Structure 1
Amino acid sequence: MTKNPLQSIAEWRGRPGPSGIPSICTAHPVVIEAAMNCIAPTPLSLLIEATCNQVNQDGGYTGMTPADFRRFVEGIAARTGFPLERLILGGDHLGPNPWKNLPADQAMEKAETMIRDYAAAGFTKLHLDCSMGCAGEPVALDDAETASRAARLAAAAEAARPADGVAPVYIIGTEVPIPGGAMEEIEGLEVTHSDAAQTTFEVHRRAFADAGISDAFARVIGLVVQPGVEFGNHNVIDYDPVAAAELSATLDKLPGLVFEAHSTDYQTREALTALVRDGFAILKVGPGLTFVLREALYGLDAIAEELFPGKRSQTLRQSMEALMLDAPANWDRYYHGTDAERALQRHFSYSDRIRYYWPQPGAEKAVTELFDLLGESELPETLIGQYLGGLYPDVRAGKLAPRAGALALAAVDRLAQDYVAACLD
């Protein structure tokens, strides 16, 4: 059986080569293609993760099952020439969250089906997250119940994984907001206490042993903790190495483990580098990537209006506004304030809840119409400078083609490069 390339991630800090890995949490084809182009020239594997809300047996908000998602990603790899042997698929927040409005027994049955489907489809990095209460339970469960349910899901995954495939590695713990991000502006964060991290590890170790799957626990490679990074609708909390020093030192007491840092979106390259250096070796990023892609798409939208005024019945932004107003469930309870303030957040919030709408047929149609309108023509440098200013220097220097498709990919690549640099520093 082929060894999971992430099995030894805790040893990476002490040897030449990568010391961490970015986790690309998205189902957007442009983001995935850009990530493949960014990772391909490096020694890194490409880790792409889907969340429980995004991809599950019911389709999630993308309409894809785990097997569908695998085919989707591998199709992009085939088109770009990215080698499949360097591709790792992961599942994030796998647990009852999508069904937490149901009684616990029903929600956990659904969660078991989901993780079996992930494992059977060849996803080899699985984050077990059963921390949330279901109908009639507290909002957050205690450590023992959380670990017991996580072990139950690990047992389901172990039973469903292909016998001749790569054995999955597991991530345990949760110190982050629910999938989808924080629901309000964040004023401050409390870094996970060292003893809490150790307790999480020990309680899960016992739960796996009680479930008769200690061999699976030997493949637990990481612990989700809060290193002090997060973003809300309007602001970003930056990493402070001093505040996280005690937590970072805890890894000395947890041999074979690294920390997984969620919500690293919008951190600077310097902060990302410090996170990896301090043992937060798995850097998860999702909304930040679709945020910069949306910036590029809206910039191209404005350029199209300059070049071809009145050629479309609606601009891309107008189409996206109509979609979000028609189906407000993915943003309404997250965005607050006046109508004008909520309208601004729908398009420009750090939480980037507009990302839930890109897979919809109406959004895909509007994006296709935009790219068809701009085609392969060279866009004026002056308009690129006006509406896509961050990409202008490379266009001006002849390093980047002034074409719509290349500009969209380059916008994502610029951010992805920060994560690659942090993991190879």
Structure 2
Amino acid sequence: MSILADLAPSRRSGRPRGIAAICSAHPVVIETTLAHGRDVGGDVLIEATCNQVNQDGGYTGMTPADFRRSVEDSAAVAGFDTGRLVLGGDHLGPNPWRHLEAEDALQKAEGMMAAFVAAGFSKIHLDASMGCKGEPEALDDEVTALRAARLTRVAEKTARDNGLSPPVYVIGTEVPVPGGAWHALDGLQPTSAAAAKATIATHREVFRRHGAEAALDRVIGVVVQPGVEFGHEEVVVYRPDRARELASVLDDEPALVFEAHSTDYQPRRELARLVADGFPILKVGPGLTFALREALYGLDLIAGELDPSYGERSLYKAMEALMLAEPGYWQRYYQGDANSQRMLRHYSYSDRIRYYWPHPRAVAAVERLRAALAGRELPPTLVHQFLPASAGHAGPLDMPMALSLAVREVLDDYAEAVSPAGAA
């Protein structure tokens, strides 16, 4: 846990460092992340959200224990030392069960918290801010903190019962919409300093009052909105001047840092500025699978050029048919006429196509692409045409390498930004 414990001290020392929180369950993303971590050194933080992984399986079909085994299997393939692996649970609270009465949803959230901690997830984002059946959409700080304290008590007991070191916690819930906004981004404002201070003070008071005071010394961060976001076709880039008042809150909180969500698609320079300004935990997810999808679609075009029997844009057509047949993951998010929705299904920055890659039909389509390119070195001229992220690669290039290079290009931005030199 040294990297997380060191974030606040390194900021105070004038040598800020950070860490990218990789929020993806895609096996290529995870394996590439671990191989990248092996190459650059340092710890790797991989997080699972409450909707993605929970005791009921989430949308991946994995429990926390399943997810851990999957990541450790990928680490073995990548040759990554699992002693440098940190697993985090993101938005742990009643969100997957908001349709239930509050008490029923909270009991489910308690079961999820116990499953995450028992599986060795050592960084926990407490998020009980969402209303359940019959409640307001968003709850106030007092109710949110009360529910977070309840979940923290479960986490602490689970760690004790299993002989595990207790986790560290991140509080706060003023975050961008998970997976990116689907509304206009005009007027996006950073969290106010007053709101951040109120969140911290309320959690401290409530935790002490409700028997969770032992966890307070292990609250390392607060989730806030620094003024970054992405929508379907736009990215709001970090502006340090707009977050200056918010960042100043940390001057009076030497043990804390801020956690920034939805940092996907931020330029490397702005990522480094976030770290330098006190936002050293940088969440990234859709940006990684967006890059992976770009590479897959480029390979889809290359396969069609190399082998006419493969067909024209076979993978693209298979994914379009799948998303039309099962629209649950995109329909309420992608507005506009039929053509606008089609474009967003495939090319939106929010990358809701990522939910479909585990589907058997998508797996079969990717395997067909893999078979079409098996044993082939990709011609440099086609690489230049369809795989710009790989165009500078020296030496033979095949499909696995092309996918890895696409993901690594994103990871390189974060690796540079979170290093003390990059954040300086």
TM-score by shorter chain over 0.5: yes
Matched with 1:412 is 407
After superposition, where does 1:98-247 map in structure 2 within 5 Å?
98-161=96-159, 163-247=162-246
Q: Is residue 389–residue 405 contact of structure 2 (8 Å, CA) maintained in 1?
A: no
After superposition, where does 1:21-420 map in structure 2 within 5 Å?
21-161=19-159, 163-311=162-310, 315-394=314-393, 398=394, 401-420=396-415
Q: Report the Cα offset of residue 312 of structure 1.
A: 5.7
Q: SS at the partner of 1:393?
A: coil
Cα distance 1:321–1:57, how it changes in 2: closer, same or farther (>3 A)?
same
Please identify, of 234-243 and 4-13, the stretch whose mean Cα deviation from structure 2 is larger: 4-13
Distance 1:16 1:190 in 2: 27
Q: Report the Cα offset of residue 4 of structure 1.
A: 5.5
Q: Is residue 89–residue 125 contact of structure 1 (8 Å, CA) maintained in 2?
A: yes
1:11-52 Cα offsets, whole Å, 9 max, x none, are: 123559770000000000111111112222334210000001
Distance 2:139 2:128 in 1: 8
RMSD: 1.6
Cα distance 1:313–1:419, how it changes in 2: closer, same or farther (>3 A)?
closer
How many residues end up aligned between the 2 structures? 419
**Percentage of identical aligned residues:** 54
Q: Which of 413, 416, 421 matches 2:416? A: 421
Q: Is residue 169–residue 221 contact of structure 1 (8 Å, CA) maintained in 2?
A: yes
Q: Report the Cα offset of residue 186 of structure 1.
A: 1.4
State the one-letter code of the partner of 1:370.
Answer: L
Distance 1:335 1:232 in 2: 11
Q: Report the Cα offset of residue 377 of structure 1.
A: 1.5
Q: Which of 8, 16, 32 matches 1:10? A: 8
State the one-letter code of the partner of 1:249.
Answer: S
Q: SS at the partner of 2:35?
A: helix
Q: SS at the partner of 1:40?
A: helix
What is the TM-score of this pair, normalised by structure 1?
A: 0.95
Q: Report the Cα offset of residue 53 of structure 1.
A: 0.6
What is the TM-score of this pair, normalised by structure 2?
A: 0.96
Distance 1:9 1:211 in 2: 28
Q: Report the Cα offset of residue 6 of structure 1.
A: 1.6
Q: Report the Cα offset of residue 207 of structure 1.
A: 1.5
Distance 1:185 1:355 in 2: 22
Q: Report the Cα offset of residue 183 of structure 1.
A: 2.2
Q: Is residue 36–residue 80 contact of structure 1 (8 Å, CA) maintained in 2?
A: yes
Distance 1:26 1:201 in 2: 28
Unaligned runs of 5+ in 1: none
State the one-letter code of the partner of 2:305.
Answer: E
Distance 1:69 1:18 in 2: 31
Q: SS at the partner of 1:161?
A: helix
Q: Is residue 53–residue 179 contact of structure 1 (8 Å, CA) maintained in 2?
A: no
1:333-352 Cα offsets, whole Å, 9 max, x none, are: 00000000000000000100
Q: Is residue 300–residue 387 contact of structure 1 (8 Å, CA) maintained in 2?
A: yes
Q: SS at the partner of 1:53?
A: coil
Distance 2:104 2:48 in 1: 22
State the one-letter code of the partner of 2:409.
Answer: R
Cα distance 1:82–1:16, how it changes in 2: closer, same or farther (>3 A)?
farther
Q: Is residue 188–residue 237 contact of structure 1 (8 Å, CA) maintained in 2?
A: no
Q: SS at the partner of 2:221?
A: strand
1:146-203 Cα offsets, whole Å, 9 max, x none, are: 0100111111111112543232100101112343332223123111111111110111
Q: Is residue 185–residue 234 contact of structure 1 (8 Å, CA) maintained in 2?
A: no
Distance 1:140 1:122 in 2: 30
1:100-138 Cα offsets, whole Å, 9 max, x none, are: 011111111111111110000000000001111111001
State the one-letter code of the partner of 1:7.
Answer: A
